[in-house]
Amino acid sequence: MTQLNLLENSAVRDDAASRFHWKQLYQGALLETDPRKIRARMVEAQIAVLKRSTEILSRPLCREHRELDDAWRFLHLLERDVSSE
């Protein structure tokens, strides 16, 4: 029983870390001001958003699903803007 609780607690921590990770990378991409770094940060954030989207794909719709969808759209707009410069 204790081992099961440890596994559940570990899964909850991993889930929270994954949620924090994509948001941190996304915010970093949006706030990057150095033109030489923006494309790399944007790609890194896109990968994190896609990874997290896949992780929670089978879960019922929740706020994070909407946040990921919004993040993906904004990153696409940022990519288009960066490409046009």
Q: Supply the range of the domain harboring residue 59.
A: 2-84
d(CA 39, CA 29) in angstroms, rounded, equals 8
Q: In which residue are the tokens 């607690």 written? A: 9
Q: How many residues does the chain have?
A: 85
Provide the whole-model pTM: 0.78
d(CA 62, CA 77) in angstroms, rounded, equals 24
Look at the chain and report how many structural domains it folds into. 1
Amino acid symbol at 58:
S
Q: With the C-alpha atoms ordered 35, 37, 43, 44, is the resulting torsion angle positive or negative? A: negative
Give tens-digit pLDDT for 36-72.
999 999 999 999 999 999 999 988 889 999 999 999 9
